[in-house]
Amino acid sequence: MSKALKNIAEAVDLFAQGKFLIVIDDENRENEGDLIISGEKITDQDMAFMIRHTSGIICSAISAKRAKDLNLPIMVRENQDQRRTAFTISIDAREGLTTGISATERANTVRKMASAQSNAADFIRPGHVFPLIAHSDGLAGRRGHTEAGLVLCQLANQGESGVLSELVNDDGTVMKGQQLFDFADEYEIPVITIEDLALYALENLATKKSETTEIQWAKLPHETGLWQIATFKGGSGVDHAVLKFGDDENHSPTLIRAHSECLTGDSFGSLRCDCGEQLKSSFHLIAQKGHGYIIYLRGQEGRGIGLSEKIKAYLLQDQGLDTISANLELGHENDVRDWQDLITVLDQLKIKDIELITNN
């Protein structure tokens, strides 16, 4: 086997330093390899190398939350791609823009994407970089290069912009098998597999999150009894609320309500949904049982599209569309919520066996 094949821990360290990785997938899937590099660390020269040796279609893996923050709706309403790759509309960084096609300008675009200080106004649409939205469950949900790019950023503590493109031969054909290892040896680029990365991420991403999370409880008197409340900072920086009823003794299974934030239903009593009633019912069910948790997931308004887009969807519903059709008409998937924060907080609470109250 090629000397380029690396273990995942070494590869993550190199990725954090701004080095290229070649990530190959299963031979029963695409059996192809992508060059992947951190958008935070990429140089103009790196981008030029990438364009020269790949298809030239430069993509950047991001989360659904980041896509929403940058106002990047999915490219088409009906995704007919064989692998359901979630392309958004293409973009260029606004600052320093001429044509947007040069390696210098494309490198600038992906660096801007990786910066937490960037917002939607920093980009123009369409452009020459193609953002890809990773599956909400990462590599556990989809074994794709998109998810690999984002997971590498998370493991290496890099900003969200896993830059990737597919390696091709000089004759234009896609590199496969031994061709990938020959290229890796020639340019001394480490090779990893998506499968190995997925197994490593399963353990290490959860560990990283739980190590940095501390839950401190305060009393919360409620009409159903005395609850406790704490906050939990999610992977995207949003503060979720965790409410606990009862003692800390082990109750198996533990009654859990995972409630997606719904300002219109929870606070305003909107009759367009029954979210408020579901939340109220969850308080009563858990109090009656004597122990359980309500995990209130913020940033999930309108199945993750945000309050503003949700109101736009209301306008379309007024014209006769249903909820899902309205979301699709606005360029969103029917559900863009990310459940990784829920998994992480349950792990932090050391809850393994749950009885789930249906979520909204």
Direct distance between the N- and C-terminal alpha carbons of the chain, in angstroms, rounded to an integer: 50
Pairwise pLDDT comparison (130 vs 214), residue with the higher score: 130
Provide the pLDDT confidence category of residue 333 given band limits of 50, 70 and 90.
Answer: confident
Biggest CA pair distance of the chain: 71
Please provide the CATH number assigned to the domain covering 218-300+337-357: 3.40.50.10990
Q: Is the pLDDT of residue 1 over 50?
A: no
Which CATH class name applies to 8-208? alpha beta
d(CA 309, CA 302): 8
Question: Cα torsion for 83, 84, 88, 89, to the nearest 10°?
Answer: 80
Q: Where are the domains of the chain?
A: 8-208, 218-300+337-357
Q: Report the distance separating Cα 317 and Cα 258, nearest Å.
A: 26
Active site amino acids: 335, 337
Q: And the tokens for 99?
A: 């044509």
What is the pLDDT, as a whole number, of residue 281?
A: 97
Q: With pLDDT > 70 as the criterion, what percentage of the chain qualifies?
A: 92
Two domains, one topology: 8-208 and 218-300+337-357: no
pLDDT confidence band for 210 (50 / 70 / 90): very low
- DSSP output for 157-191: T--S-EEEEEBB-TTSPBP-THHHHHHHHHHT--E
Cis peptide before 126 (omega within 30 of 0): yes
Do the Cβ atoms of 21 and 188 come closer than 8 Å?
Answer: no
Encode pLDDT of 134-176 as tens digits: 987 789 878 899 999 999 999 999 999 999 999 999 999 999 9
